[in-house]
Structure 1
């Protein structure tokens, strides 16, 4: 039973999450030659202050990009 973990920022709609779950399920079932019924997907959503890239929160990175554009 494949278990897929997805981590993403808060803000995507249920429809978007349904679409990605369906696409990932199809890809995993096809590539592993298993039933889609055996594929499990866990989606964990993170707020802007709980998701870091290069030591900065996503909010900090967005603010830095905005400053770069206005400078």
Structure 2
């Protein structure tokens, strides 16, 4: 039973983008590992940007 955990910063990820991530990740394990999609679980965690760091610095998101 594959379990895929995707973590992204909480920056306006749309439901459509989440749907595409879930579909794409599931397709990868089907195509590469020959796993059953019926038992493949995908979880998306949205992390507040203040709880994310890169290059030794707190990541505060992109300014638009």
Give the TM-score, by structure 1 length.
0.76
Partner of 1:3: 3
Q: Which runs of 5+ in 2 are unaligned?
A: none
Larger relative helix fraction: 1
The number of residues matched between the two structures is 62
Task: Compute the RMSD of aligned alpha carbons.
Answer: 1.7
Larger radius of gyration: 1
> Which structure would you say has the larger RCO, counting Cα contacts within 8 Å and 6 or more residues apart?
2
Counterparts of 2:41 and 2:30 in 1: how far apart (Å)? 11
- Provide Cα deviations, 1:1-55, integer angstroms capped at 9, x if missing partner: 0101111011201110100110110111111112111111111111110111122
Divergent runs of 4+, >3 A: none
